[in-house]
Amino acid sequence: MERIIFLCVVSACLASVHTQTFLLNPKWSPIGYKEHDVQGGNTAMDEIIKTNENQASRILDGTTSLRDGDIAVSAGKRSKVCFARSCLWSKSVDGHVYIAYKLSPEYSELEKNQIVKGMENVERDTCVRFVPWTHQQDFIDIQPKSGCWSYLGSRGGRQTLSLQSPNCLQVGVISHELMHALGFVHEQSRIDRDNYVTIMWENIWRDRLRNFQKFKTDNLGLPYDYSSIMHFGMYAYSQDGQPTIIAKSSKDVKLGQTSILSQIDKMKINKLYQCGWCDDDDYYSK
């Protein structure tokens, strides 16, 4: 009798393992993110995907959903590309773009300091300055909601930017979401991206294919930037651990950034906001 009971228990355990393996198999799993080893570390977007796929709903509330993994879109409104003055933050007479922000009291002092580091990352060599909110009509309300996400460009009034704690409180992730708030889409969403990268559609989880759509972008006369903080990593939304984006120039080109803005990222900010005090040649000479 004890032997029979033992065999039944073993059989039940094996069945449980088999079921779990089936459910978590990337061919069947509803999760659009697969862990993998990346030489040089994950990109900021890899961390965002990991957090948003595992913990954040693609439907933020009854009227707002996520596009491209981390861009908040309100129902009835298209996520416009922010190369029009209507969705840019106002520039001051001194040439800087001052963006007011408010931090949730739910963040600890250490977490607030980390968010400020992400802001300083965007400010460095650009005309953008983040200032604590006092009375400004337009401002970013940074909250530890579910996942890492932002609206695209300035929406007018209070706009939420979510940095879930602790998953989203990495300098690169914070900088990435602030870049969305400034009006930038993902680099591989550029209208001319097919000249520079190959999208491996067969390796992408089927219900995340729309995250690789292109925008009709104004590229500001700047070159394609494989190293942009806004670029998807090579394995973004991979269903089988195989690359989903490959650079046409070389398969060894690293896509995306872990923590810092690229020089072209900084140039984009200054060109979009028409900061005339910054010379493009300065970047290439550094």
Residues in the chain: 286
Neighbours of 129 (CB within 10 A): 15
- The answer to the question of whether 231 is labelled as a binding residue is no
Alpha-carbon distance values, 221 to 16, 138, 152 (Å): 56, 29, 21
Q: Which helix (H) or strand (E) holds 73?
A: strand 71-74
Catalytic residue among 109, 177, 187, 202: 177
Please list, in sequence order, all residues whose beta carbon lies within 8 angstroms of the beta carbon of residue 7, skipping any fewer than 6 positions away.
Answer: none
**Is 140 exposed, middle or buried (CB count within 10 Å of its CB: 0-12, 13-18, 19+)?**
buried
The answer to whether the Cα torsion of 266, 286, 195, 207 is positive or negative is negative
The question of whether 53 is a catalytic residue gets the answer no
- The answer to the question of whether 96 is labelled as a binding residue is no
Rounded Cα–Cα distance for residues 246 and 235 (Å): 9
Q: Which helix (H) or strand (E) holds 162?
A: strand 158-163
- The answer to the question of whether 186 is labelled as a binding residue is yes
Rounded Cα–Cα distance for residues 181 and 272 (Å): 13
Which residues are known binding-site members?
176, 180, 186
Binding-site sequence positions for Zn(2+): 176, 180, 186
The set of catalytic residues is 177
